[in-house]
Structure 1
């Protein structure tokens, strides 16, 4: 991680910080957090994948904990919300064939490409589909940018770069510079390709602009995947996929194009999309299974304004049992996201012990299928139990560091919401400082469940410590971050580790996030999106 992103403390907050003083005796037990994580990330829970015995055990555990704390059911008389999903187990052909210009390239599945479909069909193909290079695959009128300008891609397959044109440009005013916009997310690439009428979309993977190595791609986009089971199908191209940088270079070379600096070329003002003069062929076969997964939801009803809501969210799911790595095939997901789920349980337990109940209703929402594309939170946002216009704030927990107390409170998507101003003041009370996300180019703001709340206008906070240890400094945390990202993230090795996992820092984060929620719950004010946020207009429209 970089070491130069400390943000000066802001001078004012919109809320008087009284709740913290009134509830100084309320704390979160580190031992309780440890116990939750040990259970949720145990082999017995089989990696907590939806549609498995691991889901049943997880949902039962969360429900039992909420009941034990005395929380009310969050969905009428139920502690769950059904989430209809379809499981597609994709089996691509062993090779993707690229032909043209008298040349044939055979790309090997998993090593060179992954391919799948979100169409609920048993088989779908690209048959000699014309390949087109469309730069970053972005149409952004507010930036005067159109990577598809003058090009008809109907029925064709587009190759596009990961991230957006601002990344690595050296210009903070170009898009958002190193900070990824939604135009840089892979979900956007597919959506835009579909709007353009493309039959296929292949994203060129590179580790730095993507934010994760190829192993994550091949693990996440192969085998069984879950999607919301929506009538009318998914608005996506027929075939979706990723290819490695090396595979892309082979394709560029076969096209006869000089593409040595294709990323730099694609961010230039005079870039024009073009056909590569090659055709792609690949087939995807699906096994189809429909079922219901569950969001788990509980609440503490507000004492004065029960029809105004603060929602805490954390995803309970992980990747289940998958490809064996280093002799282990259970993807336990201790950090991602037993840690966030445990912290939410810790907040729920602590809040349940406060004598003076919050004035607004506080909701605890453990969502399913985050790892499959934020599906549980997406379903909730599309089918809200509590009206978005009456939902004051979302506070999301995903990957709470268990490496000790941190000086920082890192805010992902810093500058978006006034909730961060409240968090900043409370961090000062803990002797901590606010830090903007040191890796904004990785697009973490679009990669966890708060994003689905933001898309419907609800101000959201996604923050935790994870940069500078209170006593061991920046380098200690950086070394553990690098180990996690390179050898544990989305692997079976994301397990509880007694050698260096501690829970005092996790409890510190939990107490801070709890107090943010209490500040909002006991206030009459409505935190809003800041000027320049793409979600501000959505909120203002919903509150009319």
Structure 2
């Protein structure tokens, strides 16, 4: 990361909140010395070298290598005295692959008495994150300039229930999942689609803003039912409820825009005019009605596990602090001219998983347990869209209302030895982090760059449920999502120090007399 690290907490917290929280971070909540001595770089190296070995073939979700990693983690939890939540440390959830039902697929526009049907896939293509459903005679609304947070959505006009939204977005390099030019990664396209479904939107048409002279085509996705050379391996695994969580979503090309606006240039001019207006723009397009339909057929269903262990609290066992890290990566992909095809994922995220294991070992071996429980979760499916954490919050093995906070370790083993990027939701949690960082013999320089990646790791699933979260991350590097992300490139001293800081924060949260109520 090239940006300057920015210290946290400049004048953010009021004096009463600081006193409330830091009063609970006195010596009685300090991590016992016996536990602090357990954070050994050699142990971290041992865990990473197994998880990131060629034997595990990149730990894709699903794969045999992923199950080997899950067995390794579960056995360690058992050995260190953590209890299973239920009958097993494995908490499986289902993933499905679906193809389109070609006979139930259409996108039509009615202009008065004239009905025009877009040709699929030439004029429009269903997006991979689409839901299923159908609608008739739906009004069409142009939507652009989404804010970075759904809570800040104050549109220029109401968004009618039952409408189809024409969402304008830019082709930002490396940000294909970002909703519009103004939106940060905190709210991905997926997050906005879920929000729209909850607010009654029936369908979404995604339109990129074309460059001058560019012939705009719909974004392609290799659905087997639309392909001349069908293969189910091109289909993503998704949670079974994906079809009900979001509206029907099509990417549209120039032919559709020409029908709607007369020309692509006219569409571009309208978009540019709206850019000067404040806030989100909702512009009804009168005289146009939309008919659309999309349905799936299930091709394949598999089960994959999250791994869950609990350190049971003494006096408030029903309340818990959750520490998580994803243990999956992206598997094996052969690239032209590259001999190594295994994406070992040492930093992403064998490092965070090793940190989780260091904490579990250190705290699990303590003779005296904390007041609240501490739950350790190794998530699968993160690389496929936070699937494991989304499945966890949808069907939690423990009530989410009793979760005091969620701490997430993702990529914690690279870059400058003293830099640590954080994302925090909950001002009181930030105060605990600051206090515990200052208490380290070698504190980290805490930076805010993790906010840019806030929606791209498992803590986001918990933040959406109003749970305070802390995201610890040491930044991107040239080996990110490359076969060259190998175990020997990690700084194991730094990894162990990050894990120690997370353990100190978790122990403080699990032992302080009271925590602020959820907002």
Q: Does 1:454 align with 2:455?
A: no
CA spacing shift, 1:514–1:130, aligned 2, 3 Å: same
Q: Aligned match of 1:354 in 366, 389, 404?
A: 366
Distance 2:335 2:273 in 1: 34
Instruction: Please say which of residues 187-196 and 297-306 is displaced more in the overlay.
Output: 187-196
Q: CA deviation at 1:312?
A: 0.9
Q: Does 1:40 align with 2:51?
A: yes
Q: CA deviation at 1:497?
A: 5.2
Q: Aligned match of 1:380 in 389, 392, 406?
A: 392
Aligned partner of residue 145 in structure 1, secondary structure: coil
Q: CA deviation at 1:275?
A: 4.9
Q: Aligned match of 2:88 in 74, 78, 84?
A: 78
Q: CA deviation at 1:201?
A: 3.5
Contact 2:404 2:468 in 1 (8 A): yes
| Larger relative contact order, structure 1 or 2 (CA cutoff 8 Å, min sep 6) | 2
CA spacing shift, 1:339–1:241, aligned 2, 3 Å: farther
Contact 1:90 1:284 in 2 (8 A): yes
Per-residue CA deviations over 1:39-68 (Å, capped at 9, x if unaligned) read 222232222222321222121111122123
CA spacing shift, 1:305–1:191, aligned 2, 3 Å: closer
Aligned partner of residue 306 in structure 1, secondary structure: strand
Q: Aligned match of 1:522 in 499, 511, 515?
A: 511
| Corresponding position of 1:321 | 332
Q: Aligned match of 2:486 in 474, 496, 501?
A: 496
Q: Does 1:256 align with 2:266?
A: yes
Distance 2:54 2:208 in 1: 35
Q: Please list, as runs of the form range in 1=range in 2, the aligned pairs for 1:38-437 lying within 5 A after superposition.
A: 38-73=49-84, 75-88=85-98, 115-119=127-131, 133-136=142-145, 143=152, 145-146=154-155, 149=158, 154=163, 158-160=167-169, 167=182, 180=184, 184-194=187-197, 195-202=199-206, 204=208, 223-230=234-241, 233-240=243-250, 254-259=264-269, 262=272, 265=275, 268=278, 271-273=281-283, 275=285, 288-322=299-333, 324=335, 326-327=337-338, 328-403=340-415, 405-406=417-418, 408-413=419-424, 416-430=426-440, 431-432=442-443, 435-437=446-448
Q: CA deviation at 1:462?
A: 1.4
Contact 2:331 2:342 in 1 (8 A): yes
Q: CA deviation at 1:345?
A: 0.7
CA spacing shift, 1:197–1:7, aligned 2, 3 Å: closer
Contact 1:305 1:360 in 2 (8 A): yes
Contact 1:360 1:522 in 2 (8 A): yes
Distance 1:80 1:363 in 2: 13
Q: CA deviation at 1:377?
A: 1.8
Contact 2:108 2:292 in 1 (8 A): yes
Distance 1:271 1:523 in 2: 46
CA spacing shift, 1:336–1:46, aligned 2, 3 Å: same
TM-score by length of 2: 0.74
Contact 1:48 1:320 in 2 (8 A): yes
Report which of the two structures shows the higher radius of gyration computed on alpha carbons: 2
Q: CA deviation at 1:285?
A: 7.9
Distance 2:445 2:101 in 1: 45
Q: CA deviation at 1:218?
A: 8.3
Aligned partner of residue 96 in structure 2, secondary structure: strand
| Corresponding position of 2:225 | none
| Corresponding position of 2:226 | none
Distance 1:45 1:494 in 2: 15
Could you list the runs of 5+ residues in structure 1 that have no partner in the other structure? 168-177, 207-216, 467-480, 530-535, 537-544
Distance 1:508 1:224 in 2: 40
Distance 2:221 2:492 in 1: 32
